[in-house]
Structure 1
Amino acid sequence: MSNERRPAEEFEVTADLPDSPMHTTGTDHVTLVGSNAEETIAFYRDLLGMPLVLRQPNLDDPDSTHLFFDTGDGRILTFFVDDDRPSNPRPQRPGVGAVHHLSFSIDPERFVEVREALEDAGRGYNEFDRGIFHSLYTSDHNGLTIELATDKWAIPDDRRGEVLATAQRIREEDGADFAEERHIEAALEELDLDVEKFDLPDAPTGAGTP
């Protein structure tokens, strides 16, 4: 038996449902092991603006508490916390199985306000124009990288996968290394969707930045 694995380039990119035994219907929630309630709530509720919608004992470990935050569209982010656990702002451990970052959507019309709020809170950040979206990267009280991202175009939520898959095909035909503005614009036009671009600040791409 060969140990060679097929590279990513050999797998088709498409918004069509795969021929699989099941199909998920969306993200229900993501759960992280947090530190304590006070500092978790201070960052996710009081800074990022996520309502704390449920609090109960951790059903698998009643000595800790389970906090539920609404990320803005009914999708939930939860934390297992314990008041005896101090926060650890050191960067997260890298490697297979680690969480690289979490990304949350923000309103493009409030992008500058969000950036200013990070500055006012003393939170360091990096800002990048990723070609198809625009992002701020900061970190929470436990060193987890948090991306605050906004689309550069008004893309309907129910067509997002279709738009990205179409842009991928156009990018490959174009011979570009990554998706750029022209690829998304061409995808929107091909799919007969409005091309409404938001006014966002200029920023570097961040390509090659670890």
Structure 2
Amino acid sequence: MSDQQQAPVTDELPDSPFHTTGTDHITIWGSNEADTIEFYRDLLGMPLVLRQPNLDDPSQTHLFFDTGDGRILTFFVSDDRPSAQGVRGGVGAVHHLCFSVDPERYEAVMDALDEAGHHYNVFDRGIFHSIYTKDNNGLVIELSADKYDIPDDRRAEVLATTQRIREEDGAEYAKDEHMAAALEELGLDATPYDLPDASSGVGGVN
């Protein structure tokens, strides 16, 4: 697809029949209840807010976790399904799930993963920092920390402005300096959080 044919990147609402108002929940095929709760509640700190039968298949249990901002992650689980350490990819499959963590608790997150015996990698992704680990089923979990304090109601505007500045700079991907410039242009605080040095990981994560 040529540059002329590419869809524009903008925070403006598209001319579509309707617009979604947010993410309500995401549902994953899980293994069993105990392992799922151990990872998502006991390690990642997501409250288990609802448990009921899977209404499409009452032989399974439907677990609802609050990811921290009222958005919900749910799992269909069954006690006869062991956790697995291999997730198959392919078109339509989930590549990874990403959850936000407090930038000021970033080191504590890594310490907790170490203590729980979960291997992880840390990358500086240009406009945010990411810790990658895996859940009990081998699904890649990204824990991201913003480099800057971005108001939720202006996040799309900040990202679209960062994109424009990146393109003007001819850079391959959005970097720290592009977002800082976008924040300054929009009159927002561009003071970065103190996050550890890390490689970009470009080309190294599948």
Q: TM-score, normalised by structure 2?
A: 0.97
Match of 1:107 in 2: 102
**1:17 counterpart = 2:3:** no
Give the structure 2 partner of residue 3 of structure 1. Answer: none
Taking a change above 3 Å as real, the CA distance of residues 142 and 7 of structure 1, as seen in their structure-2 partners, is farther
Q: Provide the rounded CA distance (Å) in 1 between the counterparts of 2:31 and 2:116.
A: 20
SS at match of 1:185: helix
Q: Identify the match of residue 122 of structure 2 among 110, 117, 127.
A: 127
- CA–CA separation in structure 1 for the residues paired with 2:175 and 2:16: 31
Aligned residue type for 2:120 = Y
Q: CA deviation at 1:7?
A: 5.7
Q: Which residue of 2 is the match for residue 85 of structure 1?
A: 81
How far apart, in 2, do the equivalents of 1:206 and 1:13 lie? 24
RMSD in angstroms over aligned alpha carbons? 1.0
Residues 56-95 of structure 1 mapped to structure 2, 5 A cutoff = 56-90=52-86, 92-95=87-90
Structure 1 residue 196: deviation in Å?
2.3
Q: Distance in 1 between matches of 2:159 and 2:2?
A: 20
Q: C-alpha separation between the residues in 1 aligned to 2:58 and 2:146?
A: 40
1:115-147 deviations in whole A, cap 9, x for unaligned? 010000000000000010001000001010000
Cα displacement string for residues 143-162 of structure 1 (whole angstroms, at most 9, x for unaligned residues):
10000001000000111111
Residue 159 of structure 1 corresponds to which residue in structure 2? 154
Q: Match of 1:155, SS?
A: coil
Distance 1:177 1:66, change over 3 A: same
Find runs of 4+ consecutive structure 1 residues off by over 2 angstroms. Answer: 6-9
Q: Match for 2:203: what amino acid?
A: G
Query: What is the distance in 2 between the residues matched to 1:7 and 1:135?
Result: 31
Amino acid across the alignment from 2:44: L
* Structure-to-structure mapping, 1:129-208, within 5 angstroms: 129-208=124-203
Can you list the C-alpha shifts for 1:151-183, whole angstroms capped at 9, x where unaligned?
Answer: 000000111111010000000000000001110
Report the number of matched residues. Answer: 204
- Aligned twin of 1:53: 49
2-structure distance, mates of 1:119, 1:179: 30
1:96 corresponding residue in structure 2: 91
What is the DSSP-based 3-state SS (H/G/I as helix, E as strand, rest coil) of the residue aligned with 1:10?
Answer: coil
Deviation string for 1:61-120 (max 9, x for gaps)? 000000000000000000000011111112x11111110000000000000000010000
The amino acid that maps onto 1:93 is R
Give the % identical residues. 69
